[in-house]
Amino acid sequence: MELSKRQERIIEIVKEAGPITGENIAEKLSLTRATLRPDLAILTMAGFLDARPRVGYFFTGKTGSELLTEQIKKFKVQQFQHVPIVLKESVSVYDAISTMFLEDVGTLFVVDDHSCLTGVLSRKDLLRASIGQQDLNSVPVHIIMTRMPNITVCRKEDLLIDVAMKLINKQIDGIPVVRDTEAGLEVIGRITKTTITKVFVELITNDQV
Protein backbone atom coordinates (compact mmCIF):
# COMPACT_ATOMS: atom_id res chain seq x y z
CA MET A 1 0.00 0.00 0.00
CA GLU A 2 1.06 3.54 -0.78
CA LEU A 3 1.58 5.68 2.36
CA SER A 4 1.01 9.43 2.42
CA LYS A 5 3.82 11.77 3.44
CA ARG A 6 2.09 12.36 6.76
CA GLN A 7 1.70 8.63 7.43
CA GLU A 8 5.40 8.09 6.70
CA ARG A 9 6.24 10.95 9.11
CA ILE A 10 4.05 9.31 11.80
CA ILE A 11 5.93 6.02 11.39
CA GLU A 12 9.25 7.87 11.77
CA ILE A 13 8.04 9.57 14.98
CA VAL A 14 6.78 6.30 16.46
CA LYS A 15 10.02 4.51 15.51
CA GLU A 16 12.06 7.18 17.30
CA ALA A 17 9.83 7.94 20.28
CA GLY A 18 7.48 4.96 20.68
CA PRO A 19 5.61 3.94 22.68
CA ILE A 20 3.99 7.33 22.23
CA THR A 21 0.42 8.53 22.64
CA GLY A 22 -1.66 9.88 19.79
CA GLU A 23 -1.75 13.19 21.62
CA ASN A 24 2.06 13.43 21.61
CA ILE A 25 2.34 12.43 17.96
CA ALA A 26 -0.17 15.17 17.11
CA GLU A 27 1.88 17.69 19.11
CA LYS A 28 5.06 16.82 17.25
CA LEU A 29 3.27 17.38 13.94
CA SER A 30 1.49 20.54 15.16
CA LEU A 31 -1.84 18.94 14.31
CA THR A 32 -4.88 18.03 16.38
CA ARG A 33 -5.47 14.49 17.61
CA ALA A 34 -8.72 14.40 15.59
CA THR A 35 -6.90 15.21 12.34
CA LEU A 36 -4.49 12.35 12.94
CA ARG A 37 -7.12 9.76 13.87
CA PRO A 38 -7.75 8.39 10.33
CA ASP A 39 -3.99 8.08 9.65
CA LEU A 40 -3.40 6.24 12.92
CA ALA A 41 -6.32 3.94 12.18
CA ILE A 42 -4.94 3.10 8.71
CA LEU A 43 -1.40 2.49 10.00
CA THR A 44 -2.71 0.25 12.78
CA MET A 45 -5.04 -1.70 10.50
CA ALA A 46 -2.30 -2.16 7.92
CA GLY A 47 -0.03 -3.54 10.65
CA PHE A 48 2.74 -0.89 10.62
CA LEU A 49 1.82 0.29 14.12
CA ASP A 50 0.29 -1.39 17.11
CA ALA A 51 -1.52 0.35 19.94
CA ARG A 52 -1.78 -0.61 23.60
CA PRO A 53 -4.25 1.06 25.95
CA ARG A 54 -2.53 3.48 28.36
CA VAL A 55 0.83 2.85 26.65
CA GLY A 56 0.42 4.30 23.19
CA TYR A 57 1.54 3.48 19.70
CA PHE A 58 4.63 1.44 18.90
CA PHE A 59 6.30 0.31 15.69
CA THR A 60 5.70 -3.36 14.81
CA GLY A 61 9.00 -3.55 12.92
CA LYS A 62 7.33 -5.00 9.85
CA THR A 63 8.20 -3.69 6.41
CA GLY A 64 5.61 -3.01 3.70
CA SER A 65 6.56 -6.21 1.83
CA GLU A 66 6.35 -8.34 4.98
CA LEU A 67 2.85 -6.98 5.62
CA LEU A 68 1.86 -7.60 2.01
CA THR A 69 3.11 -11.19 2.26
CA GLU A 70 1.09 -11.71 5.46
CA GLN A 71 -2.01 -10.33 3.72
CA ILE A 72 -1.61 -12.56 0.63
CA LYS A 73 -1.05 -15.66 2.77
CA LYS A 74 -4.51 -15.13 4.29
CA PHE A 75 -6.40 -15.08 0.96
CA LYS A 76 -8.89 -17.94 0.73
CA VAL A 77 -10.23 -19.63 -2.41
CA GLN A 78 -13.83 -18.58 -1.67
CA GLN A 79 -12.95 -14.86 -1.90
CA PHE A 80 -11.77 -15.25 -5.50
CA GLN A 81 -13.39 -18.33 -7.09
CA HIS A 82 -15.37 -17.91 -10.31
CA VAL A 83 -18.41 -19.77 -11.58
CA PRO A 84 -17.41 -23.15 -13.08
CA ILE A 85 -18.43 -24.09 -16.62
CA VAL A 86 -19.55 -27.71 -16.54
CA LEU A 87 -20.70 -30.27 -19.11
CA LYS A 88 -22.33 -33.68 -18.90
CA GLU A 89 -20.23 -36.71 -19.92
CA SER A 90 -22.43 -37.46 -22.94
CA VAL A 91 -21.88 -34.03 -24.56
CA SER A 92 -19.98 -34.24 -27.86
CA VAL A 93 -16.48 -32.93 -28.38
CA TYR A 94 -17.96 -30.56 -30.99
CA ASP A 95 -20.35 -29.05 -28.41
CA ALA A 96 -17.56 -28.84 -25.84
CA ILE A 97 -15.49 -26.77 -28.28
CA SER A 98 -18.50 -24.50 -28.90
CA THR A 99 -19.02 -24.11 -25.15
CA MET A 100 -15.38 -23.17 -24.65
CA PHE A 101 -15.76 -20.35 -27.20
CA LEU A 102 -19.19 -19.21 -26.01
CA GLU A 103 -18.21 -19.15 -22.33
CA ASP A 104 -14.74 -17.78 -23.08
CA VAL A 105 -12.94 -20.21 -20.76
CA GLY A 106 -9.91 -22.46 -21.22
CA THR A 107 -10.94 -25.32 -18.94
CA LEU A 108 -14.27 -27.17 -18.77
CA PHE A 109 -15.30 -29.56 -16.02
CA VAL A 110 -17.28 -32.71 -16.72
CA VAL A 111 -19.89 -33.86 -14.22
CA ASP A 112 -22.30 -36.74 -13.69
CA ASP A 113 -26.05 -36.50 -13.02
CA HIS A 114 -25.37 -35.39 -9.42
CA SER A 115 -23.18 -32.44 -10.56
CA CYS A 116 -20.19 -34.41 -9.27
CA LEU A 117 -16.81 -34.15 -10.93
CA THR A 118 -15.80 -36.91 -13.32
CA GLY A 119 -13.41 -35.15 -15.70
CA VAL A 120 -11.54 -32.09 -16.99
CA LEU A 121 -11.21 -30.81 -20.56
CA SER A 122 -8.45 -28.42 -21.52
CA ARG A 123 -7.90 -26.62 -24.82
CA LYS A 124 -5.23 -29.12 -25.80
CA ASP A 125 -7.48 -32.11 -24.99
CA LEU A 126 -10.01 -30.74 -27.49
CA LEU A 127 -7.34 -29.87 -30.06
CA ARG A 128 -5.90 -33.38 -29.79
CA ALA A 129 -9.32 -34.90 -30.40
CA SER A 130 -9.88 -32.54 -33.34
CA ILE A 131 -6.79 -33.53 -35.31
CA GLY A 132 -7.91 -37.18 -35.38
CA GLN A 133 -10.20 -38.44 -38.11
CA GLN A 134 -13.31 -38.87 -35.94
CA ASP A 135 -16.58 -37.06 -36.41
CA LEU A 136 -16.49 -34.64 -33.46
CA ASN A 137 -20.27 -34.74 -33.18
CA SER A 138 -20.25 -38.45 -32.39
CA VAL A 139 -17.41 -38.53 -29.84
CA PRO A 140 -18.60 -37.88 -26.27
CA VAL A 141 -16.26 -35.90 -24.01
CA HIS A 142 -15.88 -38.75 -21.52
CA ILE A 143 -13.73 -40.57 -24.12
CA ILE A 144 -11.09 -37.83 -24.24
CA MET A 145 -11.22 -36.08 -20.84
CA THR A 146 -8.72 -36.40 -18.00
CA ARG A 147 -10.69 -38.37 -15.46
CA MET A 148 -11.06 -38.89 -11.75
CA PRO A 149 -9.19 -39.76 -9.57
CA ASN A 150 -6.40 -37.96 -11.47
CA ILE A 151 -7.88 -34.51 -11.06
CA THR A 152 -6.35 -31.85 -8.88
CA VAL A 153 -9.08 -30.14 -6.86
CA CYS A 154 -9.33 -27.52 -4.13
CA ARG A 155 -11.90 -26.53 -1.54
CA LYS A 156 -13.32 -23.08 -0.74
CA GLU A 157 -11.52 -22.81 2.58
CA ASP A 158 -8.09 -23.57 1.05
CA LEU A 159 -5.47 -20.84 0.88
CA LEU A 160 -5.19 -19.21 -2.54
CA ILE A 161 -1.39 -19.39 -2.41
CA ASP A 162 -1.56 -23.20 -2.06
CA VAL A 163 -3.83 -23.43 -5.10
CA ALA A 164 -1.50 -21.14 -7.07
CA MET A 165 1.37 -23.50 -6.22
CA LYS A 166 -0.69 -26.48 -7.44
CA LEU A 167 -1.29 -24.69 -10.76
CA ILE A 168 2.48 -24.26 -11.15
CA ASN A 169 3.55 -27.69 -9.89
CA LYS A 170 0.97 -29.65 -11.91
CA GLN A 171 1.41 -27.40 -14.96
CA ILE A 172 -2.32 -26.91 -15.44
CA ASP A 173 -4.43 -23.83 -16.16
CA GLY A 174 -7.39 -24.42 -13.88
CA ILE A 175 -8.51 -26.20 -10.74
CA PRO A 176 -12.13 -26.98 -9.80
CA VAL A 177 -13.39 -25.88 -6.39
CA VAL A 178 -15.34 -28.81 -4.97
CA ARG A 179 -17.59 -29.61 -2.05
CA ASP A 180 -17.66 -33.12 -0.55
CA THR A 181 -21.07 -34.75 -0.85
CA GLU A 182 -22.30 -38.31 -0.45
CA ALA A 183 -22.48 -38.66 -4.23
CA GLY A 184 -18.92 -37.41 -4.81
CA LEU A 185 -17.18 -34.07 -5.33
CA GLU A 186 -19.70 -31.42 -6.33
CA VAL A 187 -18.16 -28.71 -8.54
CA ILE A 188 -18.92 -25.27 -7.06
CA GLY A 189 -16.27 -23.01 -8.58
CA ARG A 190 -12.97 -22.65 -10.37
CA ILE A 191 -9.60 -21.05 -9.80
CA THR A 192 -7.50 -20.42 -12.91
CA LYS A 193 -4.24 -18.75 -13.83
CA THR A 194 -6.36 -15.72 -14.78
CA THR A 195 -7.76 -15.58 -11.23
CA ILE A 196 -4.23 -15.40 -9.83
CA THR A 197 -3.13 -12.82 -12.40
CA LYS A 198 -6.12 -10.63 -11.51
CA VAL A 199 -5.28 -10.79 -7.79
CA PHE A 200 -1.69 -9.80 -8.58
CA VAL A 201 -2.78 -6.78 -10.66
CA GLU A 202 -5.40 -5.69 -8.10
CA LEU A 203 -2.84 -5.84 -5.31
CA ILE A 204 -0.72 -3.34 -7.17
CA THR A 205 -3.43 -1.05 -8.55
CA ASN A 206 -5.94 -1.13 -5.74
CA ASP A 207 -5.45 -1.75 -2.04
CA GLN A 208 -8.99 -3.14 -1.61
CA VAL A 209 -8.41 -6.71 -2.85
Binding site for ligand ADP (CB under 6 A): 107, 120, 122-125, 146, 150-152, 171-175
CB of 98 to ligand ADP, least distance (A): 17
CB of 99 to ligand ADP, least distance (A): 15
Where do runs of H (alpha helix) occur along 82-192?
Answer: 93-103, 123-130, 141-144, 160-169
Categorise residue 30: left if φ over 0, alpha if ψ from -120 to 50, beta otherwise.
left
CB of 76 to ligand ADP, least distance (A): 19
Please list, in sequence order, all residues whose beta carbon lies within 8 angstroms of the beta carbon of residue 84, skipping any fewer than 6 positions away.
109, 176, 177, 187, 188, 189, 190
CB of 114 to ligand ADP, least distance (A): 19
What are the two backbone dihedrals, phi and then psi, of residue 182, each rounded to the nearest 5 degrees? Answer: -65, -35
Q: Cα(first)–Cα(last) distance of the chain, in Å?
A: 11
Of the two residues 24 and 146, which places its CB atom closer to ligand ADP in the complex?
A: 146
Of the two residues 78 and 152, which places its CB atom closer to ligand ADP in the complex?
A: 152
Query: How far is Cα 118 from Cα 146, in angstroms, rounded to an integer?
Result: 9
Closest CA to 190 of 92, 121, 140: 121
CB of 201 to ligand ADP, least distance (A): 21
Instruction: Give the largest CA-CA distance in the chain.
Output: 81
Of the two residues 123 and 142, which places its CB atom closer to ligand ADP in the complex?
A: 123
Of the two residues 24 and 152, which places its CB atom closer to ligand ADP in the complex?
A: 152
Of the two residues 120 and 185, which places its CB atom closer to ligand ADP in the complex?
A: 120
Ranked by CB distance to ligand ADP, the top (closest) residue is 124
